[in-house]
Structure 1
Amino acid sequence: MVLLLDQRRSDVQITQEVVVAAAQNWNSGKEVMELLLNQRGSEVQITQDVVVAAAGNSRSGKEVVGLLLDQRGSDVQITEKVVVAAARNEDSGKEVMALLLDQRGSNIQITQEVVLAATQNYRSGKEVMELLLDQRGSDVQITQEVAVSIIRDFNKEVMALLLDQRGADVQITEEVVVAAAGNYRSGKEVMELLLDQRGSNIQITQEVVVAAAGNGGSGKEVMALLLNQRGSDVQITQEVVLAAAQNYGSGKEVMAFLLDQRGSDVQITEEVVVAAARNEDSGKEVMAFLLNQRGADVQITEEVVVAAAGNRGSGKEVMALLLNQRGSEVQITEEVVVAAARNYGSGKEVMALLFDQRGSEIQITEEVVVAAARNGGSGKEVMALLLDQRGSNIQITQEVVLAAAENYRSGKEVIAFLLDQRGSDVQITQEVVVAAAWNYGSGKEVMALLLNQRGSDFQITQEVAVAAARNEDSGKEVMELLLDQRGADVQITEEVVVAAARNEDSGKEVMELLLDQRGADVQITEEVVVAAAGNYGSGKEVMALLLDQRGSEIQITEEVVVAAAGNYGSGKEVMALLFDQRGSDVQITEQVVLTAAGNLDGGKLLQYLYRATSIEITDTAIQSAATSGQENTLRLFDQWTETGRVAKYWVHIARLCAAAKEGNAKAVLQLTQQGVPPDKQDIRGTTPLWHAAAQGHTDTVRVLLATNAVDVNATSVSKRTPLFWPAASSHVEVVKLLLSHGAQQNYYDVDGRSPLMIARLYGQTKVVDILASKV
């Protein structure tokens, strides 16, 4: 830097990025910043980003922050983001925080976000928290979330300090006791302190015992403490035994302790054995212990063998144990072989063991080969083993090639292997090329391989270009490759530009590439602008690019503003950009307010609109907020109207919707028992059941279905029923529940996909089998 400033001074621009980089510089941050301040001080802007970068600098944070305070103190604003960065600083967090408290203590607010940042600081979080409690204990916001985080992540000393300084503010709820029981390093000591100081407030619920049984670090010690001090309150349910069997760190120890102390209460069900077989770290140890101590109760079902075959960490060891000790009960079904082929951690080893010991029973079906082709970790190795052992019986079907093209981690390796070994059988169809273009992990590599080795076999259709434009992680790279190697074949249609505008992660980069290389073909239609405005992830960036480069073509219609109003990821930022650059064109209609009221951002965008312009709070706006679960927005409405217009009815609706989304089955049950309607559709057409099902909240789905007052086939504006997303995410129990209550499969969404089709698209074989059997 010294040389550049000395030799090429006029060419060196001291931009915001340069100053941030200096503030972040681990090894010579202070020296670089000092040089910039001394030689080009008038050009150095000390923005919040600069101070945040300095406060978060792990090596030289204290020195850089000290320099900024000393030389440019009046420009240094100590915002919440700065204090959060200091609290999260893993190496010098305590030193930076101490400096801030010493020099600017009166400007520092110890908010919930600051405390949570400290709990996430694995190296020096304890020291930061001790400093905050010691110097500013009375200012630390002790919310339920803060208390849970401190108790879960810190040791006895921090907990004692918290109780000493702010004990009256710490409510000992079930969630707090669960956090103590699950404290990995210091569970026993923290629980002991709670029992000693607040024992009368502590209820030993099933959730507490489950947390202790699943604690991978100090589970045995916590369980011993609970049984010793509150044994009569401890119930050893199946959930507790399951948690012990799943415990990756101390499963054997916890299970041994339970059998020793309360053996008659421990039931070894199929679910427990499956959990042990699936345990990636201590599966062999837990399984060996169960076979030794309670062998007569251990049934080796297909589910158990499938779990062992799919165990990514210790699959080979668990499978070898089962074959060795209970081989006559182990059936090598198609599901077992598929699970081994799909296993991306130890798939090759498990498959080799099965071939070695039970080869005559192994059937290599298309499903097995597809699973190997889709295996993101050891796909090539598993495929090589299959071809080596059973090559003449293996068909390289379109489904196999498609699965390889979709393989986000090792797609290139699997396809290259197939082309090398069985090239004449590999058909490069349109679907394969689309899958490669959409592959977010290895799309560029797969596409380059296909273009290089089989380019003459396929066309770059609109569907391929759209898939590349939609690719959220490597869209720019795939599109760049297509334009470079097959530019004349790539048609930049409206659909392609819309896909780029909608791309949540790399939308700006893809759009920038299209504008730069094929600008004359890019038409900025209303659909494009609407897609940008509704882009959750990069909407602001895409919209700013379009306004900057093609502003004269952009019409700010009601549909555009509505899309921004419904954008819960970056809607506020998009709306602010539109007001800033095209304010006179932005019309806040009733539909915009309705959409903003239903925005899932907790009322942030609506607050912006309220400050920026006049908005009318109508009954339909209240309904939109309530049915979207936005209780905070309802509170804002009450603040903004003199009469307090929001009825308790709508508050209860909001609470039920929010509880369903969060999976709080108890709250949903309580509210439905109070008569709160469980099936209100929000502005997007989704219901509490729809959200609970999409998130895989089995108990909540069960509660809602039990009301017999929900429409199991209610469709959203995207024409998706509650069955769609659990099918895509393999929430098997939810899928079964919905089907048993009348969920139909003959619904197709706006993209023409049914629940079965989307399950196949995402490779959810268990769900595919369930749905296919019901067709």
Structure 2
Amino acid sequence: MSTGSCKIPGNPDIAGVGVRIAIYIQNLLCFIPAFWALADGKVTQGELDAAETQATTNLVLAFAILISSIVQAQTLGLTNYHASIVLNMSWMNNTNAFIYFLLYVQYKSQESNRRRVPPTWSAWARHIKDLAVSVIPGEYRARTNQIQPGHDSTDPEAGKSDDGIASVHDAQIDGGNDSRRGAKILVKRFVLLLGSLHLTLMAGLGLWLWSNIRTFGKGQGVSNECAAKHALVAILGKHVPFASEALRIASFIIYAIFLAPGINLLLPIAMFLGLYSFWRVLPIPKGIGRGETPADSPSRYPWLRFLICRVYNSIARRWSMFPPFIGLVFLLTVNLVFIVDIELALNQNGGLQDSEEAVWGFGQILAMLLLFMPLRDLTETILARRPKQRQKDLDMGLASAINAGNRSLVLTWLARGANPNARFEGNISAIHMACNVEKLDVVRTLLEGGADPNIPGQGRDRHVVENDNRGCLRLLDQLEAGTLDTAKALAQAAKNGYGAAIKFFIPSLPLPDWHWMKTAEYKQALSGIDVNTRAANGTTALLAAVEASPGFEGVIEFLLAVPGIDANASSNDGETPLIAAAMYNCEAAAKLLVVAPGIDVNAPTTDGRTPLSYAAEKGHEAILKHLLVAPGIDVSAPDNEGWSPLTYAAAKGRENVVNLLLAVPGIDVNEVVKLLLAAPGIDVNSQNIYGDTSLYHAAYGGHTGVVKLLLAVPGVDINAVSTDGSTALMAAARLSNAHDAVFELLLATPGVDVRARDDEGKTALTHAASIGQDSAVQLLLAVPGIEANTADIYGWTPLIHAAWAGHERIVRLLLATPGIEVNAATTSGGTALTFAVESGREDPTARLVERIVKLLLATPKIDVNVADNDGWTALIWAAFNGSLNLVRVLCTVPDIIVNVADIKHHLKHPPKGRRWEEPARMIRQDKCLKILEEFEASKKGRGQDVS
């Protein structure tokens, strides 16, 4: 394209090669310490501060160029072409703030940060809000109810923010200086503020330019028109006309988005936090141990397997660093794209530019000289890295020596300068590691080297650590010298939080040999690591110590004095320490537990039983007395079955326990029998959650004397029904003949309802007939007005139940009852005869079934040919079961109908269902069919109809 005499005046101070090189280098240099900070898998405070210093330096220089450009546009005249170049370089400069933000998010999200902010949207929204609120003047916050002036926090760390400096709480505590403290926060995170202002200034220049590129600036109309007509800009390597309307609209929208200060950081922040959120849902790779082989790894090349394992383990160790790493790669790519696009545009538009563009003036020389500042920052970072790496190597050597339990090596590494309070992988301290490997000489060596005896303690003040270290060593010396006994040493160590010292006291504790398997659970807790640690079955240290009593009272007392102890922590089945003490009669443990702070004396097991319930059942009177005087004790608390402690005591005959419980004001006596009947206010008809009364339980258990006492109580409801409709008479009827006396008592009671039916429609007679209660059936049949043919909801009568169950004597009794319906059918169409035959097999019960069938066949009006809903008669069932004798017996009935073809069809095509899942062997069925064929042939020979 010909440009004629059209030229764009040169501006070496804006687009000169020296200025461009300086900006390119200073922006690319900021990535080196950022990647370096991620290399070891952890961003430290020093690395974050170094990144902040370098980013601030670069942003200050970027501000200088941007402000200079705006001034030139308003005074000397800055062309639209050079303004577009300035904007492209400004986008590169903005990445400095984003790099710092990535490292800041990683630093705040690390597990090692004691004021960690999880990488979630809600957590970071609160954190950003807190930072914003912190810089608002205290008086304004007070007026808007964001804080309460004069409020004093009880949190000892409340005076420090997540960044280790004054926070909003400082303003609350030191009301007169809140503005000064807010200013500290602004200065501390100045790079984010500077980045936001730079974005705003850049967006303002961009909106000015792209509102109309031809009228931009002052006195450059001709040059602007030249650039608008002939200049090309590069976007992702592709040349686009400078005057493109689509480019103008897109640019205008983008710059408008980033115009508002503060808000303009939200989009990049949301993008980077989104990366963290996505990374959190991915599965975390686990490292490959020695001897393990990763899936799909080559087996023929050991060196390659080794290399794959190292790479895989390196990725696994640095997995949490991938979000910021990917973010940095993205930002680096953006910078490289801008560099390429700027250079392509300058090269493409070389014919338009004046020759002055290449002149090295003061601006370019100054830009190159200003490179000294980012180079200085990078050099300082590198030099600071060396001692840091040396310290890291020393600390790792110390960790190896501790894990090996080698005291001499520990001394060597400490002498070389290893940090006795170093923290290793998993945020574990050196003293913590030594306690875990159970090397007491190593623990002592670390303490003598200045280690913090407070195992979980991190970020503690140096003077506090030194004081605790001296106090712990003094305590150990007194213990070894014999001037302090173990119990007092244990109590003092627990009070001061000397977890390391407690390791020395463990061997002095009474640990019976047969309880050796219990020690690991509370040894870990006693070390100060986690006093509420649990075993696989949910057992806590405190529960293990109670279960191991006697002899562990000192351990129990110590654990109960440890801050944060959960005295109610239960195992997987709900067993608490107090329940264990009540169950195993550990009086000393119970005495300590009932007065422990926060103890819940009514905490139940998974089946609802309380400590008092167990103590009452087992008759542990001493423990019961401690429990009864405990504040808040519920003496009537029922378990899941509705049984109270008093119920258990009465059921077990614990008269002393019953007397103790009855003396408690407010005791609920409604479910207790015998001794409790004389108690005032007794409700003899009280029911548990299943609707069972005391009379029902007594009848079910066969307690004749208790039943007699209950029946004598005025107002007792003999016909009270449970939730399934059962009565006490039914409960006695469905048990063995050993309960005959109970049954007779109930049956002789006026008002007893012998016709009552439960939810399945069964009467007491039905229950007695089905389980073979001969005497109960006989007694019931003698009751005037008894209904012997009452069927349940499935149509089963007492006769059908007895015939199916093989109760010959009851069948005989029922058949002798006037009005008995021998052909009554169930809802499935079966009768007493068909069910009796169906129950018969060629086994020891076959003779019994044969006798029952003969009894039924001898009954007048018996229908031998009746078929059920599936068309199966007694004869078909006999053949199906291979019952040869029953087939012969049935064939003796004069009215029997024999149709062998029909029987064969039924045997070959039985219905689906459990009743037809176990047919007789084919050979026995064939024998039955042969008998029937012979019988059919003989009838035909006599001219009789057998169909």
TM-score class normalised by the smaller sequence = 0.3 to 0.5
Larger Rg: 2
Q: TM-score, normalising length from structure 1?
A: 0.35
Of structures 1 and 2, the one scoring higher in RCO (CA 8 A, sep 6+) is: 2
Q: TM-score, normalising length from structure 2?
A: 0.30
